[in-house]
Amino acid sequence: MPPKRIGKHKVNKKSKKIPEKIPIENVETDDEELELENLVFGTNRKSNVGKVLEKAAAQDSLEEKQEVYDFFIDSNVQEDEQPIEEEMEQDGPAWVDEDQQVFSVNIEKKNRLKKLRNEFEETEITGKEYEDRLRSQFEKINPVPEWAKVPADNTSSILATTKPLQAKRVAVLNPDKIDLIRVSDANKNSYSNCVIQSLGFHPSSPVMFTAGLDKTLRLFHIDGKDNLFFKSFVLKDLPIVSAAFTADGLQLILTGRRKHFYVLDLDSGNVERIRGIRGREEKTLEHLYISPNNDYIGIMGLEGEIILLSIKTKQWVSTLKMNDHGVSMAFSNDGYLWSLAQDGTVYQWDLQTKECTHKFTDEGCVKATAISVSPNDKWIAIGSSVGVVNLYDTKTALASATPKPEKAIMNLTTAVTTITFHPSSDLLMIGSHYLKDSLKLVHIPTKRVVANWPTSKTPIGYAFSAGFSPSGRYVAIGNDKGKVLLYRLKDF
């Protein structure tokens, strides 16, 4: 049965404060799933699909008439997608019950057991085969999250490789014709009632989140066809402006125009409300950035200050100071942070010493708005209030205080609000939410704007958020209608 669409929630302004940590209670699981679990594991273990915050919701509903939902991450790999990690050697069982081979199980009589058949004519299987098939069926229903797997002692462990984060190109990109196929909207099973302020893909699982000012986080399993809706989580005191998965995929950080923010633990399902940053006076934390080494959370502070928080403690580590109001920042994969001031000054910071190692001025900038660094650290893209995007070679930018851009892209006419590189570093997506259908793709090797997309019939609307999947296969665009358009890149 498809999940019910979540409607608007009324919030009582006299609501009580949210506890710092909300414990997760037991949640009802499908009878068939529980039976499979009990047969396989020999216990009445509840499903580990995160737990609905029933207890907290029940207490709040008496005063606030508002529900709080749980969520979980499904790392199931679809049949049409090739798993990236290599097959790992499995240890044999520590003990084998010989009696399992003696008795047999009829899998034809009961309808619920027919799904265990490998062939239509099968009627009976041994006890050992029955256990193996039950285990396989259970793992299909409740796959083990990648981060919950015990790392192997060799490099085949998913935790010891960067393969899931790398885009695999199957063809050379043609700037005149890039094959983009529209597939089902990413959030078709639960559209938002507001602008999609933020969206993002999980770094290692086929999962996407959407979030906005309706205070609701939604999670979807992305396969390009069904895009199943998982769960939604309502934060009653935080209209969400920015959100991001941590680099290890274990947490989701959510911020807005408030001094507090939320941390959702994707493994345990626990939710933590961080009251604020100790020692800081910021009343808004809406600009959120996560370092790729999973050490820091970057927050744009007051008067040109950049606040670095520890991923572990969620509290202050260091403050970096620019000479003008800060507008954007981008962590690079080589241990640096690039920040952009409103006057067009670009700063490079060494994250080990917390010192500025280089500054340069964006050529022709009147008012800067956004910055992005390519995954291979070779390119820096800077957007301005008049729609110009300057593309710099990093080596050139580091060699001068007034470098010349490799290309000035002038296909936008309003302030640049979207600027993000493809995981392959061969494409750059730029856009502005101030003008309808204002979105472009730039082919980096030739420095040319892609000619065949979008077209006049592409229903982008006002693009408030956008991004690429870690594999590079999907392009997601969140618009003012509460929809996330999803396109598949055939070259990946």
Single residue among 45, 70, 95 that ends a domain in this structure: 70
Assess if residue 322 is contained within a domain.
Answer: yes
pLDDT digits (tens, 9 = 90+) for 307-356: 999 999 999 999 999 999 999 999 999 999 999 999 999 999 999 999 99
Cβ burial of 94 (10 Å; 0-12, 13-18, 19+) is exposed
Structural domain count, the chain: 2
Single residue among 6, 40, 70 that ends a domain in this structure: 70
Residues present in the chain in total = 492
- Residue where the block lists tokens 């090797």: 445
Q: How far is CA 181 from CA 167, 283, 322, 475, in A?
A: 18, 42, 42, 10
pLDDT digits (tens, 9 = 90+) for 230-257: 889 999 999 999 999 999 999 999 999 9
Assess if residue 205 is contained within a domain.
Answer: yes
Same domain, 359 and 485: yes
Same domain, 206 and 342: yes
Assess if residue 131 is contained within a domain.
Answer: no
Residue 68 near residue 57 (C-beta atoms within 8 A): yes
Assess if residue 246 is contained within a domain.
Answer: yes
**Percentage of residues in the chain having pLDDT higher than 90:** 60
Name the pTM for this structure.
0.68
Q: What separation, in Å, do the N-terminal and C-terminal C-alpha atoms of the chain show?
A: 33
Helices (H), 283-440: 394-398
d(CA 418, CA 433): 8
* Token duo for residue 126: 């041994």
Q: How far is CA 87 from CA 26, 84, 140, in A?
A: 34, 9, 17
Residue 62 pairs in a beta bridge with: none
Single residue among 11, 39, 70 that ends a domain in this structure: 70
Question: What is the residue range of 229's domain?
Answer: 180-489
d(CA 13, CA 389): 43
Vertex 452, ends 450 and 453: CA angle to 5°?
A: 75
Assess if residue 162 is contained within a domain.
Answer: no
User: Cα 230 to the chain's mean position, in Å?
Assistant: 14
- Residue where the block lists tokens 């402006």: 241
pLDDT digits (tens, 9 = 90+) for 122-140: 778 787 777 777 777 777 7
CB atoms within 10 A of CB 8: 9
* Token duo for residue 134: 């039950």
Least-confidence region, from 260-269, 420-429, 481-490: 260-269
CATH number, residue 401: 2.130.10.10
Coil, strand or helix: which one is 207? strand
Residue 341 pairs in a beta bridge with: 326
Assess if residue 121 is contained within a domain.
Answer: no
Assess if residue 368 is contained within a domain.
Answer: yes
Same domain, 184 and 63: no
Rounded to whole angstroms, the maximal C-alpha distance in the chain is 81
d(CA 116, CA 133): 6
Nearest to 198 by CA among 433, 31, 408: 433
Assess if residue 152 is contained within a domain.
Answer: no
Same domain, 63 and 184: no
